[in-house]
Amino acid sequence: MVNDNDKKDIEMIKTAKEMIELMIIALNEELLGKESVLKNQALQYLELLIEKQKIDIEKEKRIEEYRNWEFENKILQEHCGEVYDWEFQDEWL
């Protein structure tokens, strides 16, 4: 025999399980949304790192070119008494 209290308990347990399942679904959706945001932020960060690397590489190239120009200018001054036209140098940098 199942009395009314048992039926109410069973119904309450069933309702509680349904609510927990709905809460779990809602939490999963929220976590997926946050995960998506984190992935986007990580990708943006990687893009910034790549851009910084490109800038650093370009900077190093320009520094090396400048050093080469300085070295050649020093040799030219020592041996010929002439100097480079620095405006011409800037066209190449």
**Distances in whole angstroms, Cα of residue 79 to Cα of each of 4, 31, 56, 72, 74:** 111, 71, 35, 11, 9
- Cβ neighbours of residue 66 under 8 Å, at least 6 residues apart? 93
| pTM score of the predicted model | 0.51
Percent of the chain scoring above 70 in pLDDT:
82
Q: Does residue 92 surpass a pLDDT of 70?
A: no
What pLDDT, on the 0 to 100 scale, is given for residue 2?
Answer: 53
Measured over all CA atoms, what is the biggest interatomic distance in the chain, rounded to whole angstroms?
116
Instruction: List the domain boundaries for the chain.
Output: 4-92
pLDDT per position as a tens digit, 2-21: 566 788 888 888 888 989 98
Mean pLDDT over 60-74 rounds to 88
